[in-house]
Amino acid sequence: MPTAHPAADHDRAAAFLANLPAPWTLGLVRAHRLAPELLDALDRTGWTLGPKLRAHLTANTDRVRSFPAVLESRIRDLVAPSSAPVPAAPALCFGCGTAASLVHGSGRCVRCATAPAGPPCPDPAARAAELRTALRSRRPAA
């Protein structure tokens, strides 16, 4: 059973639900009915009303038939924001250091993989040491 919250918090939560982007928008009656559950979920999980919560609640619209029912379920099952998986950092090209799409298995972007070879290096051992250092520190080689 939802706990009692101040009327101002209830009104803010109801306004938040009523102002979600279409097709997630709730009518005022349903928004006021669901506001106490949202406030309890916020207290339990540490979320705050704002754009991050809005994006979390309205994400992934594939195969949703009843947006209000899914929204209600998502509010009831809301988890703390820190438990969401953090996307991995994009892989960087070993040649130029950009986060461009890499050619499979080469570790280089399309531009670097298809670029013509430069002039031969006068000291291959020194160049190899420079490249190893660059790879270890994830910096582009000069």
Residues 1-37: pLDDT tens digits?
A: 556 778 888 899 999 999 998 898 889 999 999 999 9
Q: Quick check: 26 and 70 in contact, CB under 8 A?
A: no
100 and 79 co-located in one domain: no
The counts of H helices and E strands in the chain are: 6, 0
**Quick one: tokens of 93?**
């090209």
Assigned domain for 1 exists: no
Q: pLDDT-based confidence at 136, cuts 50/70/90?
A: confident
If asked whether residues 77 and 62 sit together in one domain, one would say yes
Say whether both 12 and 79 belong to one domain: yes
Same domain assignment for residues 36 and 49:
yes
Q: Could you tell me if 77 and 97 lie in one domain? A: no
**Whether the bond into 36 is cis, omega within 30 of 0:** no
My answer on whether 36 and 63 are in the same domain is: yes
Residue 11's pLDDT is 92
Same domain, 73 and 106: no
* Structural domain count of the chain: 2
Does residue 38 carry a pLDDT above 90? Answer: yes
Q: At residue 103, does pLDDT exceed 60?
A: yes
Q: Which of 29-33, 80-84, 127-131 has the largest mean confidence?
A: 29-33
104 and 65 both lie in a single domain: no
Are 24 and 76 contained in the same domain?
A: yes
- Domain assignment of residue 136, given as a range: 88-116+123-142
